[in-house]
A and B are shown apart, each in its own frame.
Chain A
Amino acid sequence: MIKKVILSILILVLFVEIVSLVTHTVFLPADILRTLPSFSENGWIKPHNSLLSDPVFQFEPWRIFTKEQIVHGDVPLWNNLNGLGAPFLANLQTSMFFPLQILYYLLPVTWSLFLIALFKVFLYEYFFYLYLRQNKISKTVSAITSIASFGGFFAVWLNWPQTNVFLLFPLILTFIDRYAVKKEKKYMILLPIVFFLAFLGGHPETFFLISLTSVIYSLVRYRRTFIVVVTSIIFSMFLASFLLFPFLEYLFNSYMLVSRLTQVTHQLPLYSLVFDTFPYLLGAPHLSFYKPLSDSINYQELVGGYAGLIAILVAIIAIVRFLKNEFIKTWLIIGVVSILVAYKFPVIFSLFENSIIKANANHRMSAFIGISTLMLFAFGLDMLMTVKKTILTTKFVRSFSLFLTILTCLYILSFFIPLEVGGKYHDFYSFLLRHILLILFSTFFFFLVLFQRRRLSKRFLVLGLTVAFFSQTVLFFVPYNTFAPVSSYYPKNEMVEYLQSHPGNILQVGNPSLPPNINMAYGISNVQNDDALEVASFRTDFDNAFPKKNLWRNVDDVTKVSLENFNIRNVISDYDIRNTKISINPGTKDVYPLLNNKYIIEFTGNGRELRQARLLTATYNRVNNCIVKVNILKVSKRENIARNTFPCTSVYDKMFYTLDISPVTLKYGEKYALEISEYSDNVKNSVGVVGENKMPYLDLLFQDDTFDGIGSYKKITNFYITTFKERPLIRGKGVSIKILKHSPTTLNFIASTKKTTQVKIYKTFYPGWEAYINNKKARIGSLDSFMSINVNKGENFVSISYRPKSFYLGMFVSFISLFLLTLYIMRTLYFDKGNIFYRYFSNFDKNFRQILAKLPLWYITVSAVISIFIGTLVYLFILKILPFRFVYNDNMVINWFYEFKYPKQQDYFFYILAMIVISIIGVLVWLILLNRYKKKK
């Protein structure tokens, strides 16, 4: 068994290596970066899946940052690259302690990302299988259902931390069942451990939901067992205190908590339940067609409960026929509760709306609708496969066949007869029809095979059911995630190189250019943060300083004072911020096609020089080959005063396009108009403009001298970068500052002043920061949302470091909890004689004593020497292949290590690794050698 597992892992690693070498790809939708104008200099490129931005914009940069910090021998407590500093470890979504992440820390990214995803899917399906088998579902049905469980929620959120948590849910259920049935203590121990691992997964909301569902499950199915489940959840919280405490501290200081409590509850509209049957009704982001249901409800939210029509129908049959069964009853209740929580039902909605629960992502409860459906399906299918009498009547087969034939004909006809109802949506309707047809056909085929089972061989029966079921589950979702070429993995372009050579905080204005937290992948600091929580005081001050936001929720307007107040050095904008922007039509609700249309926007002259015009374009999620024409004319004389054209390939979907205009002064009070039209040959090569009330969005930019002479200016493809002179991180009146060290968690500087003065440090004020002046503790004050400190007359060495008490207290609680748990486990293993471990060891012990009694001492000693030697060789081999090396961490100390740039952590790492490897491998080899001697004899 062990040999098989080792062999399988080796083959898997080899396979991943070959795949990554041959294809030179990485399992990350990194191609999405090229949807940003800043990363697609040669025009817009359609990504594989437009919704997979978070893994690229956030999770991967977080992983890069974490690995970098670990290699430097630091605990990644603080993110110094976003929002002028924010807690990092407290941001649970980084999942930095999730066991599978170890692969990321140890292996190259081309291997690790794929292996992590692979293990996630494998483990989820395996746990699902275990659970079904625990409930006596046949092996075949368990296997089919567990593989199909990949569809829906798990597939669309595969690259998110949600699935780290969710993958353990079936395992939790298995342990609950085993405990309830066998009453063995070991499940009481395993349950909190699994809940703890789920917490490390990094998504507190999903953790809350699986905990809630586990409690409901145990309560409904086993009544008293729920106490064990609740205790396990509480104990897992103790184990995870080192993360929980900093997280709670961050949560209560977060902008998210405030904003969520003022938002409407997160629930899905009731009618969207239909997407759990037909997931492509609005297309899908990885296909040719896609439209979100609304601004806040996208495809991923809609299909969370998807399990397929087959599963739903079988589940209904199971409910109708076996309602009295405890298993069916339990999952029916969970399914109903999930629907009530995830979807807006009139009374329940208002209950949620008026309680704190609305702050939770309740709509994600839809995942449990999918899982309930699959459970009911598995039970139902298993029963139906064993029922002797035929259920399906010939009449039913005939009518279903007729229905399918009509649909097929309609589909074929759609290629010949123009469906006027759709007009330009013709292709989409064909696609939709095909989609519905596939679902209906596979459903029909499934039932046909199922009810003709007695006439079919078992192999064909299984094959038929699997093909039909997989065609509407696995098949739909396997292409959802993607590999991307290594070249698109955070490429270094001109903009990135420019920003790296001009260090300082950046701010993106207008279009997204380097959204937070992508900057972390490049070591660039961004004044904004997007970690889902955000420090409340900073975010509020930021919003007050930059009140105007656009449809991307980006800052759209800046002032000199606000840039200075937030220590911003580089502004990346789609328009030249040195101009004054005047909004003519700010509406962004609708999209208007330019094909065969001309839009005229009138405005009045203000006596200033017009430099640029800013439109909001739409590409319909495709690459178009056309030309957009813009004219500016005097209304009274119909005289053209400026004109310009631009290719449609240079516009981006729902992004601003800023048009340079030859400078022209608009006469005060005179009426002018801007005309937009398009040269295009057909509907598939046409763009649109965003606007409202049939008027396109328009900003006009006039010459201004506010920013003159205070910074340099550079245009890189479609971006303008305004760089101001380097702004000091620490400022104080009459204080000279020399920064000695600046790392994420430490800032050391020398402040020289002639009198006691307050200095302002442009780092976010947050609990956990401590200051020492000349090795004596000092108080940190808050000035706006930043830190401030009083320095005394003379030269002061100031050391500010982030040492969150919440983390250290949490570590203490976690350690105590882990200690108690270990103690309990050891006691249980020792006293519980029925325990498998105990039995194994006592037998081993007995056999070994017999062996040892017969062995001469010289053999025992010589074999020990050989074993130590082999253990040492293995250790040296591990050192050779393990790429993990600490980097010298430039610290505050000048000593031998500093002089020779030697990281001390390396010695500790090598020493402890040597002790562990040589001891374990040596002892194992020793046991083998001793055993061999006995066999020879």
Chain B
Amino acid sequence: MKKTLLIVFVLLIFIDVIWFTTYCFVMPINLIDEGQFAAWANHMMHGEKMYTDIYITYGPLYVYLVYLYMKFGATSLQGVRMFLFILNFLTCIPMSYLILKNLKLKKITILYTLSFLFLLLPIFSIRQALGFFAIYLEMKLIDGESRIVAFFLGIILAVSFLFSPDIGLYAGIVVFVANIVPLIFMRNVLEHMKRIIYVVLGASLVGIVFAFWAAGEGWLSSYITTTIDVLATLSGTGSPIGQNYPYFFELIHGNLSPILLFKSIFSKEMLVYWVFLFNIIIVFTSFYTFLTGSINKINKKIFLLYLFCLILSITLIGRNGIGHVLFVLPPIIIILFIFLERLVFSSNEKMSNTFRLVMGSIIIIFLFRILLIYRPTYFGIFRINNILAKDYENVNLVGVAPVDNASQLKELKKFIDKQTVKDTQIFLLKDEPGLYAILDRSNPTRYDLPFIADSLPKRYELINQIKFSNIKYIIDDTLAWDVDGISNRQRIPELQRLLENSFYKCDIIGKINIYCKK
């Protein structure tokens, strides 16, 4: 057994090294994902304040970590990517391990689950990890630990919120439910109330420290209003991003041909319905557990994961691209491995081998389908030679990783360096915040991702900030991706008007148009 484990472990380490190499050296740098963090940190290095001068959709701690890293270490976007990768790796895997261990799963299951999560590491960020950590601490409380753990749970909840408001909120709901339900069944309510007070105290402590820090730096009120805005606009029609939930009958193309039907069912788009089905299964499983009266500690803990999974899945109503499907997958994967373990190791006599085989196969097919999404990444390792051998046009501040349209960016960088000084302000019309970091220039508006400023108040805020600034250029990279297929010229027609009335096209670099003030 030990030998097998060792072999599996070595194999996985090997795969993970491949994964890290491919992800950090072969995959092109993403000017939105790591780009936005780099841009925000870059602005902060230019003396701008979080939230007040920059509209940040994440929590301040998350951004501040990248800022510190860039201030004291990183000089490239690749560096930011590696930093985030390592940060995710260092938090996600231990958090998952703690949860799996607390659930008293067999070592082999823990190993397989961790390996699987590791294979999907980029989808599993420190944001979810902190949510998991809060759940882990709640599990410890179910085990009977009290006070200090409760106090620490409060701290982690607050920290989680300060990393990512949505995950912090979801984890908060799970903890809230987990602490409220015992109030129904416990005779000694006072003892439990004390524990709740400790949680509140822990959260308050972080809240107070944070409030002093944010107020000291002068962005507390901006943080509050921006965070409320972020949470509110990510629901309903005010959502800056999002498309409607895919229509099931459109996904299967109304075609009953077995091959097409099979393809549709296993398509990436159909994964949202897989997740929905999984949620329904969770409801049934919980009900079954409740009816069979097997509400033991382990099942209570699993129920926490169910709840987290149900709440996290709501994200898919707002935005349901593959990226967000992957975002909600980690708790599902953990739960699926728990199911798998029960199928394989359960001594329940009622569970026939056929049953184990059929159910296990369904789970494995689902997991395998998820893995397939990342097949280009695994095959990317075979391109490493080309990448290393290629004398590619390295763009300053990108690192040794490739970046799309590199020559064009290099030209742009040269142009900006020549025509402007460090405190010159530029504005990027497309959603490529990473360019601010590459070009090392600041943005006169709060919006590095202009598509977020698609509501009228924000549009006018953006327009006014451009109007009353000393902006020199507006840069429009025509090759860049339009979020949800809606261009920023459509989203912000006032900006289009401003371009027409107050700017003119003064240069063209490849497919990049440069506008100057009239």
Given contacts A856-B350, A926-B284, contact A904 B457 (CB under 8 A): no
Cβ of B245: which chain A residues have Cβ within 8 Å of it? 907, 910-911
A904 and B351 alpha carbons, distance in the complex (Å): 44
- Write the nearest CB–CB distance from A435 to chain B, whole angstroms: 60
Given contacts A774-B461, A894-B492, contact A827 B284 (CB under 8 A): no
A827 and B185 alpha carbons, distance in the complex (Å): 6
Give residues of chain A (818-838) contacting chain B, Cβ–Cβ below 8 Å. Answer: 823, 826-827, 830-831
Cβ of A774: which chain B residues have Cβ within 8 Å of it? 457, 460-461, 464
Task: Verify if A544 is at the interface (C-beta below 8 Å from B).
Answer: no
Interface size for chain B: under 10, 10 to 19, 20 to 34, or 35 or more residues? 35 or more
Question: A904: which of B236, B279, B284, B463 is its contact (CB, 8 Å)?
Answer: B236
Task: Verify if B81 is at the interface (C-beta below 8 Å from A).
Answer: no
What are 10 of the A-B contact pairs (CB < 8 Å)?
A776-B461, A794-B467, A852-B292, A857-B350, A894-B492, A895-B239, A906-B244, A915-B280, A919-B280, A919-B283
Contacting pair A904 B244 (CB below 8 A): yes
16 further interface pairs, Cβ-Cβ under 8 Å (given A893-B454, A911-B276): A750-B460, A775-B458, A797-B456, A845-B293, A848-B291, A852-B292, A858-B352, A867-B284, A868-B281, A893-B237, A893-B238, A895-B240, A897-B239, A899-B486, A907-B244, A923-B287
Task: Verify if A395 is at the interface (C-beta below 8 Å from B).
Answer: no
Task: Verify if B184 is at the interface (C-beta below 8 Å from A).
Answer: yes
Which of A845, A852, A907 has the most chain B CB atoms closer than 10 A to its own CB? A907
Cβ of B244: which chain A residues have Cβ within 8 Å of it? 896-897, 900, 902, 904, 906-907
Task: Verify if A271 is at the interface (C-beta below 8 Å from B).
Answer: no
The binding surface of chain B is classed by DSSP as helix
Given contacts A858-B355, A911-B245, A923-B287, contact A894 B237 (CB under 8 A): no
Task: Verify if B258 is at the interface (C-beta below 8 Å from A).
Answer: no
Contacting pair A923 B236 (CB below 8 A): no
Question: A823: which of B183, B240, B317, B461 is its contact (CB, 8 Å)?
Answer: B183
Task: Verify if A163 is at the interface (C-beta below 8 Å from B).
Answer: no
Contacting pair A740 B456 (CB below 8 A): yes
- Write the nearest CB–CB distance from B357 to chain A, whole angstroms: 11
Contact with B along A282-298 (1 / 0, CB 8 A): 00000000000000000
Contact with A along B229-250 (1 / 0, CB 8 A): 0000001111111111100000
A797 and B240 alpha carbons, distance in the complex (Å): 19
Task: Verify if A20 is at the interface (C-beta below 8 Å from B).
Answer: no
- Which residue of chain A has the shortest Cβ distance to B314 in the bound complex? A911
Given contacts A774-B461, A915-B279, contact A892 B456 (CB under 8 A): yes
Contacting pair A893 B455 (CB below 8 A): yes
Task: Verify if A496 is at the interface (C-beta below 8 Å from B).
Answer: no
Cβ of A860: which chain B residues have Cβ within 8 Å of it? 288
Contact with A along B453-497 (1 / 0, CB 8 A): 011111111011001000000000000000011100011110000
Give residues of chain B (313-372) contacting chain A, Cβ–Cβ below 8 Å. Answer: 314, 317, 348, 350-352, 354-355, 359
Cβ of B284: which chain A residues have Cβ within 8 Å of it? 864, 867-868, 919, 922-923, 926
Contacting pair A908 B238 (CB below 8 A): no
A857 and B355 alpha carbons, distance in the complex (Å): 8
A772 and B455 alpha carbons, distance in the complex (Å): 13
A residues whose Cβ falls under 8 Å from a Cβ of B: 73, 740-741, 748, 750, 772, 774-776, 794-797, 799, 823, 826-827, 830-831, 845, 848-849, 852, 856-858, 860-861, 864, 867-868, 871, 888-889, 891-900, 902-908, 910-911, 914-915, 918-919, 922-923, 926
Question: A741: which of B291, B456, B490 is its contact (CB, 8 Å)?
Answer: B456
Cβ of A897: which chain B residues have Cβ within 8 Å of it? 237, 239, 242, 244
B residues whose Cβ falls under 8 Å from a Cβ of A: 180, 183-185, 187, 235-245, 276-277, 279-281, 283-284, 287-288, 291-293, 314, 317, 348, 350-352, 354-355, 359, 451, 454-461, 463-464, 467, 484-486, 490-493
- Write the nearest CB–CB distance from B76 to chain A, whole angstroms: 32
Cβ of B239: which chain A residues have Cβ within 8 Å of it? 893, 895, 897, 904
Question: A894: which of B184, B279, B464, B491 is its contact (CB, 8 Å)?
Answer: B491
A73 and B185 alpha carbons, distance in the complex (Å): 38
Contacting pair A891 B238 (CB below 8 A): yes
A868 and B292 alpha carbons, distance in the complex (Å): 20
Question: A896: which of B184, B458, B464, B485 is its contact (CB, 8 Å)?
Answer: B485
Cβ of B283: which chain A residues have Cβ within 8 Å of it? 915, 919, 922-923
- Write the nearest CB–CB distance from A367 to chain B, whole angstroms: 40
A871 and B243 alpha carbons, distance in the complex (Å): 26
- Write the nearest CB–CB distance from B251 to chain A, whole angstroms: 15
A748 and B292 alpha carbons, distance in the complex (Å): 57
Contacting pair B490 A904 (CB below 8 A): no
A908 and B315 alpha carbons, distance in the complex (Å): 11
- Write the nearest CB–CB distance from A859 to chain B, whole angstroms: 10
Which of A892, A895, A919 has the most chain B CB atoms closer than 10 A to its own CB? A895
A867 and B283 alpha carbons, distance in the complex (Å): 12
A13 and B454 alpha carbons, distance in the complex (Å): 47
- Write the nearest CB–CB distance from A406 to chain B, whole angstroms: 72
- Which residue of chain B has the shortest Cβ distance to A911 in the bound complex? B317
Contacting pair A914 B276 (CB below 8 A): yes
Cβ of A905: which chain B residues have Cβ within 8 Å of it? 236-237
- Write the nearest CB–CB distance from A699 to chain B, whole angstroms: 50
Contacting pair A896 B238 (CB below 8 A): no
- Write the nearest CB–CB distance from B80 to chain A, whole angstroms: 28
Contacting pair B293 A895 (CB below 8 A): no
- Which residue of chain B has the shortest Cβ distance to A819 in the bound complex? B180
Question: B242: which of A73, A864, A904 is its contact (CB, 8 Å)?
Answer: A904
Contacting pair A830 B184 (CB below 8 A): yes
- Write the nearest CB–CB distance from A21 to chain B, whole angstroms: 32
A73 and B493 alpha carbons, distance in the complex (Å): 26
Cβ of A902: which chain B residues have Cβ within 8 Å of it? 244
A857 and B458 alpha carbons, distance in the complex (Å): 56
A186 and B285 alpha carbons, distance in the complex (Å): 31
Question: B460: which of A797, A856, A926 is its contact (CB, 8 Å)?
Answer: A797
Given contacts A845-B293, A856-B350, contact A895 B457 (CB under 8 A): no
Given contacts A827-B183, A848-B291, A897-B237, contact A918 B280 (CB under 8 A): yes
A900 and B247 alpha carbons, distance in the complex (Å): 15
Given contacts A774-B461, A861-B355, A893-B455, contact A845 B486 (CB under 8 A): no
A797 and B281 alpha carbons, distance in the complex (Å): 49
A893 and B486 alpha carbons, distance in the complex (Å): 12
Contacting pair A891 B237 (CB below 8 A): yes
Contacting pair B237 A889 (CB below 8 A): yes
Contacting pair B280 A775 (CB below 8 A): no
Which of B238, B352, B354 has the most chain A CB atoms closer than 10 A to its own CB? B238
Contacting pair B240 A73 (CB below 8 A): no
Cβ of A906: which chain B residues have Cβ within 8 Å of it? 244
Contacting pair B456 A799 (CB below 8 A): yes
- Which residue of chain B has the shortest Cβ distance to A829 in the bound complex? B184
- Which residue of chain A has the shortest Cβ distance to B484 in the bound complex? A896
Contacting pair B184 A797 (CB below 8 A): no
Contacting pair B236 A775 (CB below 8 A): no
Contacting pair B351 A895 (CB below 8 A): no
Contacting pair B457 A775 (CB below 8 A): yes
A332 and B32 alpha carbons, distance in the complex (Å): 79
A274 and B355 alpha carbons, distance in the complex (Å): 81
Cβ of B464: which chain A residues have Cβ within 8 Å of it? 774, 794-795, 797
Contacting pair A826 B184 (CB below 8 A): yes
Contacting pair B359 A861 (CB below 8 A): yes
A73 and B239 alpha carbons, distance in the complex (Å): 14
Contacting pair B459 A797 (CB below 8 A): yes
The 5 closest A-B pairs by CB, nearest first: A797-B460, A892-B456, A775-B461, A826-B184, A775-B457
Contacting pair B350 A894 (CB below 8 A): no
- Write the nearest CB–CB distance from B21 to chain A, whole angstroms: 36
Cβ of A856: which chain B residues have Cβ within 8 Å of it? 350, 352
Contacting pair A857 B491 (CB below 8 A): no
A889 and B238 alpha carbons, distance in the complex (Å): 10
- Write the nearest CB–CB distance from B403 to chain A, whole angstroms: 27
Cβ of A826: which chain B residues have Cβ within 8 Å of it? 184
- Write the nearest CB–CB distance from B344 to chain A, whole angstroms: 14
Cβ of B461: which chain A residues have Cβ within 8 Å of it? 774-776, 797
